[in-house]
Structure 1
Amino acid sequence: MLISFPIYSPEEEIKDPLFSKKNVRVYFKRDDKIHPFISGNKWRKLKYNLIDAQQRNINHLVTFGGAWSNHLLATAAAAASFGFTSTGFVRGEDIDNAVLSMCRLFGMDLQFVDRQSYKEKRNLFLTHFNDRESLFLDEGGKSKLGMQGCMELLDELEQDYDHIFVASGTGTTVAGIAAGITQYGLKTQVETIPVLKSADFLLDEFTSFGVDPAHIKLHLDYHFGGYAKTKPDLLLFIKEFVSKTGIMLEPTYTGKLVFGVYDLIMKDYFKPNSKILVIHTGGLTGYLGYLEQFNRLATI
C-alpha cells in the first residue's frame, strides 16, 4: 500500500486584543488537522520511516513510549493504515487507559517494561526482534528520516514569517524546521519551547542531526515542572484559549508552547510588526490524561 495521504494543514491567523496592543500578528500552522490519530508532527516524523520500511520489505513496526504517548497511538494507526503490524513497548507498570485502548484497537501489541529496562531501547528491540524483519522507531519518532519529514513543512507555507515557534520533546521537529530554514536561505528565527526540565541537552541533539544549535533559540522557562507536569495557571490558560478560539490544546506540548508565546508577547520580546507562526503539532489525545485536573478547575 502506498505510504501517502493528502496533508491538510492550513495557516490561520489568530486574533487577540493583546496582539493588536503589541502590534504583532500570530498565525497557527494547523498540523493537528492532518489526521485524527496520525496527527501533526507524528505523521511528518513517521512518513519517511514507513517508506523506508516498505522499500526494505519490513512489515513490522516496533516503537516506544509512555502510557499516554501520542507517538504510540500514531504508530499504531499508521501501521493499521498502511499494512504493517506493530508492537509498542510501554514504559512503566501494566495499566489501561483510553490511549492504550486505542493502540490495541489499531492492532498494536503492547509490552510493558520497567523503567530501567526501558532506558536500553535498542537492546530491548534486538532482544525480541530481528532488525531485518522489524523496524526500530525510537521514542517520539526521533530520527534523521523523521527530521526530513519535518523539513517539508516549509514547502507548504503560504507566506514568510519573522519567527517560527514549535514545542520540543526529542528536538526532531525543530531540527527539521531549522535545517529547512538554512537550506532555503530564509531569515526566519526558529524558536522552541522545550517541554522537559533542564532541556539544554537539546543543543547536543541538534548537533547530532547536523543542525547548528546557534540557529535555534531555546526558551527554557515554560516546562511547568517537566515532561507531562502541569500547574493550575497552565490549565486555566488552556481553558480560556480553547473557549475563545475553538483551537484545542493539551498540556504536555501545545499548551506550554502557546502559553510561552503569549508570555513572550506580553514581555515585548518581539519587534513591532512581527509575524509569528506557531506550529500546532497535534497529539490532542494527550488531553485525556489530564481530565481529572481539568474537571477540578470547575470547582475552583
Structure 2
Amino acid sequence: MKNSPISKIILEGREFFVKRDDIIDPYLSGNKYRKLYTLLKTPNDTYDTLISYGGTQSNAMLALAAMCQKKKWKFIYYTKKLSGTQKNEHEGNYVHALRLGMQHVEIENEYYKEFIASVRLHVNEKTILVDQGGAIQEAKQGLEVLAQEIRDQNSALHVKAVATPSGTGTTALFLARALPEFKVYTTPCIGNVAYLQEQMNALARIPDNLIILEPKKKYHFAKPYAEFYNIYQRLHVTGIAFDLLYAPGMWQALLEQTDEKIMYIHSGGVSGNKSMLARYKKKGII
C-alpha cells in the first residue's frame, strides 16, 4: 500500500496538515489500520476466531469485523446489555459490523467486568483476544510504519508536532515512542487524563514527547455536545470529513492549547457519523 497522502487545511486562521489515514480503506482505515497492521499481515490460517469487547459505537469493532470477514475468521464481540434504541438503529458501526458477520453477545451489566476478565483464560492457539479499542502490543509495528511515513513525507513540510485523539491511547503511545524527535499531542476522549495514563502504562512506558492535553470540561464519550457539533461543522468546510466521536475533542484541545504547525493523524471512523448525527438531531442540537 502506498503512503496515505497529506492535505493542508486552514482552521480559524491556522494552517494544519492532515495525514489522510481515513482513506486507506472504507472500514479498515485510520488508527485501526495501524493498530491491526500486524494481524492483517498474519497468515489467514494462523487463527480461526477473534474475540473482542467494548461499546457498539466502537470504530475498532467495525474494523475488526471487516478484517475477520477478509480473513474468514469468526468474530465474537461482547458488550453490556443494549438499549432498545441501540438495537433498532439502522445505521452506524454496530449495524455495519453485524452485516460483516460479527457475532454479538450481550452480558448483563453487573457481570460484565468479571466476564471479560475470564474470557482470556479460555483463549487457545487458534483464538486471539483483542482488548477493547485494539489495545494490543502488536499495534507497535503498525505505528512504527506510520512513524516512518511521517518522516518521509515531512521533509518538505518541516512540522515538529503531530496529533491524534485517544480512546485507549494505544496509537498515541506507540506513535510517540516511534517518533522521539516529534511532539505528539493527544487528549482523552474516554475518561480523564488519569484513566488514559493508566491504559497507556499497561502497554509501555509513556515517553516524554507525548503531551496529553486535558479537556477544559468533562465530556462523556458519544454524548452529543453543541460545541463538538460546532467544531464538526467548521471542519466540514475544509472538504475533509471527520468523525463525531474523537475528532471534535482533539481539535478543540489543539485550537485552545497549542499554537504551532501540527500534523493531525486522521483516525477514520466517519462511518459512525450517521448514527451520531441522529443523536444530535434527537437532542435538538441540529
* 2:281 equivalent to 1:295: yes
* 2:7 equivalent to 1:12: yes
Cα 1:63–1:147 shift into 2, 3 Å: same
Match of residue 228 from structure 2:
234
Query: Which one of 194, 201, 211 corresponds to residue 188 of structure 2?
Result: 194
Q: Confirm or deny: 8 A CA contact 1:117 1:124 kept in the other structure.
A: no
Residue identity opposite 1:287 in structure 2: N
* 2:34 equivalent to 1:39: no
Q: Deviations over 1:244-265 (max 9, x none)?
A: 112112221012112222223x
Equivalent residue pairs, number: 275
Query: Which one of 28, 50, 58 corresponds to residue 69 of structure 1?
Result: 58
Query: Which one of 250, 255, 259 corresponds to residue 243 of structure 2?
Result: 250
* 2:102 equivalent to 1:108: yes
CA distance in structure 1 between the partners assigned to 2:97 and 2:120 by the alignment? 19
**TM-score under structure 1 length normalisation:** 0.82
CA distance in structure 2 between the partners assigned to 1:224 and 1:298 by the alignment? 21
Give the 5 Å matches for 1:1-300: 6-7=1-2, 9-16=4-11, 18-19=13-14, 25-52=15-42, 54=43, 57-93=46-82, 95-97=87-89, 98=91, 99-120=93-114, 121-126=116-121, 130-157=123-150, 158-159=153-154, 160-182=158-180, 186=181, 188-221=182-215, 225-242=219-236, 244-264=237-257, 269-270=258-259, 274-295=260-281
> How far does residue 29 in structure 1 lie from its aligned partner after superposition?
0.7
> Secondary structure of the residue that 1:164 maps to in structure 2?
strand
Residue identity opposite 2:82 in structure 1: E
Match of residue 22 from structure 1:
none
Residue identity opposite 1:89 in structure 2: Y
Q: Confirm or deny: 8 A CA contact 2:37 2:141 kept in the other structure.
A: no
Cα 1:51–1:297 shift into 2, 3 Å: same
Residue identity opposite 2:124 in structure 1: D
Q: Give unpaired runs (5+ residues) of structure 2.
A: none
Residue identity opposite 2:65 in structure 1: A
Residue identity opposite 1:57 in structure 2: T
Q: Confirm or deny: 8 A CA contact 1:222 1:256 kept in the other structure.
A: no
> Aligned-pair RMSD on alpha carbons?
2.4
CA distance in structure 1 between the partners assigned to 2:130 and 2:12 by the alignment? 43
> Secondary structure of the residue that 1:245 maps to in structure 2?
coil
Once the two structures are overlaid, the 10-residue window that deviates more, 92-101 or 147-156, is 92-101
Once the two structures are overlaid, the 10-residue window that deviates more, 232-241 or 91-100, is 91-100
> Secondary structure of the residue that 1:149 maps to in structure 2?
helix
Cα 1:143–1:130 shift into 2, 3 Å: closer
CA distance in structure 1 between the partners assigned to 2:11 and 2:47 by the alignment? 48
Q: Give unpaired runs (5+ residues) of structure 1.
A: 1-5, 20-24
Cα 1:162–1:258 shift into 2, 3 Å: same
CA distance in structure 1 between the partners assigned to 2:189 and 2:266 by the alignment? 14
Calculate percent identity across the aligned residue pairs: 24
CA distance in structure 2 between the partners assigned to 1:142 and 1:181 by the alignment? 19
